[in-house]
Amino acid sequence: MQKPLIVCCLQGRSSKGVLQTLDCELLRLPAAEQLLTTEYPRPPRLFVLQALPQDHDATRALIVSLRSQWPLTDVLVWAPQAEGGTVRTYFQAGAHDVVLQRQESKLADVITATLENQKFLPRMHDLTRQRSKGARFESMLSRSTEMWDLFELCTRVAPTDATVLIVGETGTGKELLARAVHRRSEREGRFVAANCASIPADLINSELFGHEKGAFTGADRAKKGLVMHANKGTLFLDEIGDMPPEAQQCLLRMLQEKRIRPVGSQVEADIDVRIVAATNVLLDEAVRDGKFREDLFYRLDVIRVNVPPLRQRPEDVFLLFGHFTKRLAKHYGLEPPTFTDSFLDALLEYEWPGNVRQLENFSERLVLERTQSALTARDFDKLRNTNLVETPQVREHNKQSVWRKSVDPALSLQENLDPVMEELEREYLQAKLKLHAGRVSETAEEAGISRRTLLRKMKQYGIDKQKFKS
């Protein structure tokens, strides 16, 4: 495996000595502007630049340009004894870290630590470049443009009282988004969560709106419902599509009148609750099927937040996997595992039907069951949970095999050979993919072609790798 490429521009420094001993390929540039104009043999893993003491604005502008041109490459700034305001400016511009010590050995230590953190993501640059706005929003991590647009929407609507409907598959982090909306709303009440699918139908009104003593068998005392617990705060209704019809009617009345009546009570109470609902089903279809009230749907669907599944944002797979693996290894007091490229290919190619939750559970299993050797694609297949039914959303249409049954003398030899050779190549690649359970990197290596060539031919022949995964 190639050593990571580190690009340095240190004014008045030779970058020899301590930095030269680092386990990396060091490229030294004499001028800062060359950082942006040099054609690198491969994507750099890290830019290291020295701050210009008399021109902090120029340093900041350079950081911004580097992060824009190389959004997946960290920028390290060496700024001995810089003032706090200057350091803050560098971080705001996108610097990964700022080294304040004068000793080159301290700089080398930070470079080593940065590379150590990056070892979870050695193939990050194979992904399409995305804009970089940092990685964290509240408790969520993402480098996806679509996710950051979603975060911006949540930030804009959070201070309002508008009802929010979060739509997404299981495990995509709908509750995390709901909590983020609540935290940024500055509402003084609490965040209260209720799973509509887990509450029995005959108790959901009582759970949500409360009940009086003796309202039904077993009601030996009065109970305050979840709505009242969330008063002046946010009530998160998860799996809203599974709410029984009677409860839907009560919820609609609450949204319309801002009042509730506990079960068995004749007295109504005023409430001030912000509703954030979530569903993994299409409520539009539930309305058409008569399973969900149309008037309630329009009350809930004021601001819709569509959370994309993990398979549609591959740039987040490595980021989240690295985060989970490092955090869990630290939690259990274990050394983080190491990976081969074939393992990372398998990680990226897998559909993750359980989304982020499944990836986190997989990361925990990997940390606890790891071996001393670097993990391969075969280890990936053993570690992941194969009990889940994988249902890829997009399946390529496979081309039907058609063999030429006779030679056409009116055509040239090459014209007669081309369709036969294509069919042979298609069946050969399908056989290899079947042998390697759809793993692209291993198939390409054994077939003697590059991974990019194999992917191109799979697209050309309409070969879907999913059909070969077992």
For the chain, the domains span 5-118, 145-306, 310-383, 413-468
List of residues 6+ apart from 182 with CB closer than 8 A: 158, 191, 233, 234, 236, 274, 276
| Per-residue tokens: 148 | 């950051």
Fold matches, 5-118 and 310-383: no
**Contact status, residue 380 vs residue 317, Cβ threshold 8 Å:** no
Q: Number of helices (H) and strands (E), helices first, in the chain?
A: 18, 14
**pLDDT given at position 211:** 85
Q: Class of 310-383 per CATH? A: mainly alpha
Predicted TM-score (pTM) of this structure: 0.57
Class of domain 5-118 as given by CATH: alpha beta
**pLDDT tens readout for residues 390-440:** 443 333 333 333 344 456 666 667 666 666 777 788 888 888 888 888 888
CA distances from 277 to 237, 258, 337 (A): 5, 17, 38
What 3-state DSSP class applies to 269?
A: strand
Q: Mind listing the pLDDT tens digit for each residue in 99-144?
A: 888 888 888 888 888 887 765 544 444 333 333 344 678 889 888 8
| CATH class of the region 413-468 | mainly alpha
pLDDT at 385 (0 to 100): 54
Tell me yes or no: is domain 145-306 CATH 3.40.50.300.
Answer: yes
Which positions of the chain have pLDDT values less than 50?
Answer: 14-15, 121-134, 386-405
